[in-house]
Amino acid sequence: MPPSPNDWLLTGQVPAGPFALDQIRGRLAAGQLAADTPVCPVGGTAWVPIGDVPGLGSPAPSPAPGGATTSSDPRRSVPVVARVALVLTAVALGYTAYDRLHPPTPREVVDRFDRAATADEAARVASRRFAPVARAAGGYQVGFHGRAYDDAAGRSVVAEVVFHLIDEDGWKVDDVVFVTYDGRPLDPPVSLAASHPSAGDSAIPPPHAATDRVWKAQLVFVLTALKTLPEWWAKTGKPIALAVVAVVAVIAAVVAVVREAIGSRRNGAG
């Protein structure tokens, strides 16, 4: 049934109206009428739901091809690359925070000692007794990969060593004991901590200036992320779960920064 210029509406016991088309559309838009409200044209006898009247209660016909407009949905305006980068950043922050917060195992301490780029870095994962030995020997060169340079022989020799760790506010390398050297067994085994004159000192290397700069930069990044997170959420409208993951990752990173700073100052004071 096509819409007529004036229609009756059945909203109660008796018909109401007649109403012009614009009046009916206005009431539909305001929620005063439902799609199943009966309507009958003036002079007619058939009552049908408004939703069945084309151009009145039913959706308007689809526009012709080529007439589509660009969506203004802000979620579509954010590049996919930016969303992926944000997710990867949140995952990286969470992994970094976990790596910093969980207590290292003895094997992880040995690996950090082995990967140390400077003597001070090696000393930070050594006990107070062994830290001077690690610093004097050059850090990463002490028994790394089971090889050592022999000045007398003028070459690198193979050595079997045993790393001894103690739980001193976390696992620390307390001694490196040579069991064999250049294929010859050592009887008794040689302890670097026992044979070095500086062993037993309580000096722990202070936090490195470069390390402080790195943590300050990370703290600035974390604070910036916290500041821009609400703005990103307003623009993208992504599911709340992703926002929660990002917030948790950022908070964990902040905790890691604070814990590392406290630990570095504690070691420097020791």
Confidence of residue 80 (pLDDT cuts 50, 70, 90): confident
Helix axis angle, 240-269 relative to 209-236, nearest 10°? 170
pLDDT of residue 214 exceeding 70: no
Query: Who's near 268: CB < 8 A, 6+ residues apart?
Result: 204, 205, 206, 207
Q: How confident is the model over 106-128, as pLDDT tens digits? A: 888 888 887 877 777 878 888 87
Q: What's the confidence (pLDDT) of residue 122?
A: 79
Count CB atoms within 10 A of the CB of residue 204.
22
pTM for the model stands at 0.31
- Strand arrangement of the beta sheet that strand 16-20 belongs to: 16-20, 6-9, 38-41, 48-49
Element (H, E) at 243: helix 240-269
Mean pLDDT, rounded, for 87-92: 82
Q: How confident is the model over 222-253, as pLDDT tens digits? A: 566 556 666 656 665 555 555 555 666 666 66
Residues listed for the chain: 270
Please spell the DSSP secondary structure of 166-185, one letter per residue: EESSSEEEEEEEEEEETTEE
User: Does residue 217 or residue 144 have the better pLDDT?
Assistant: 217
Q: Hunting for tokens 């050059």 — which residue is that?
A: 138
Dihedral-angle region of residue 237 (phi above 0 means left; psi in -120 to 50 means alpha; beta otherwise): left
Alpha-carbon distances, residue 233 vs 76, 216, 243 (angstroms):
13, 26, 7
Q: What's the confidence (pLDDT) of residue 85?
A: 79
pLDDT of residue 129 exceeding 50: yes
